[in-house]
Amino acid sequence: MKKKFALGILVFFSISLREAFSWGFWAHPRINRMAVFCLPEGMFAFYKANIEFLSRHAVKPDERRYAVDFEAPRHYIDLDHYGKLPFSDFPKKWDDAVKKYTEDTLVAYGIVPWHVQKEYYRLVKAFKNKDLENILKISAELGHYIADAHVPLHTSENYNGQMTGQKGIHGFWESRLPELFGENYDYFLGQAYYTKNPLDEIWKVVIESHSALDSVFKFEKELTKQFPEDVKYGYENRNNVLVRSYSQSFSKAYHEKLSGQVERRLRMSILRVASFWYSAWVDAGQPNLDEFANQKIEINEERFDKLLKNFIDREAHLIPILEQFWGCCQGDAPNYAFYLDRIQKASIWEKPYILIESLLFTETYHKNNQNHKQAQRSCKNHLH
- Binding residues for Zn ion, rule: CB under 5 A, are 22, 62, 75, 148
Q: Which is closer to Zn ion, CB of 75 or CB of 210?
A: 75
Nearest to 28 by CA among 3, 72, 59: 59
CB 129 within 8 A of CB 123: no
Question: In the bound complex, what is the minimum distance in angstroms from residue 76's beta carbon to Zn ion?
Answer: 7
Question: In the bound complex, what is the minimum distance in angstroms from residue 61's beta carbon to Zn ion?
Answer: 5
Q: What gap in Å lies between CA 52 and CA 50, rounded to an integer? A: 5
Question: In the bound complex, what is the minimum distance in angstroms from residue 23's beta carbon to Zn ion?
Answer: 7
Q: Which is closer to Zn ion, CB of 8 or CB of 152?
A: 152
Q: Which is closer to Zn ion, CB of 66 or CB of 127?
A: 66
Question: In the bound complex, what is the minimum distance in angstroms from residue 163's beta carbon to Zn ion?
Answer: 16
Q: What gap in Å lies between CA 88 and CA 102, rounded to an integer? A: 19
Q: Which is closer to Zn ion, CB of 156 or CB of 335?
A: 156
Question: In the bound complex, what is the minimum distance in angstroms from residue 206's beta carbon to Zn ion?
Answer: 13
Q: What gap in Å lies between CA 3 and CA 21, rounded to an integer? A: 25
Q: What gap in Å lies between CA 18 and CA 26, rounded to an integer? A: 20
What is residue 311's three-state secondary structure? helix
Q: What gap in Å lies between CA 110 and CA 115, rounded to an integer? A: 10
Number of H helices, E strands in the chain: 20, 2
Q: Which is closer to Zn ion, CB of 119 or CB of 148?
A: 148
Q: Which is closer to Zn ion, CB of 178 or CB of 198?
A: 178
Question: In the bound complex, what is the minimum distance in angstroms from residue 147's beta carbon to Zn ion?
Answer: 8
- What are the DSSP E strand ranges found in the chain? 233-238, 241-246
Q: What gap in Å lies between CA 359 and CA 375, rounded to an integer? A: 14
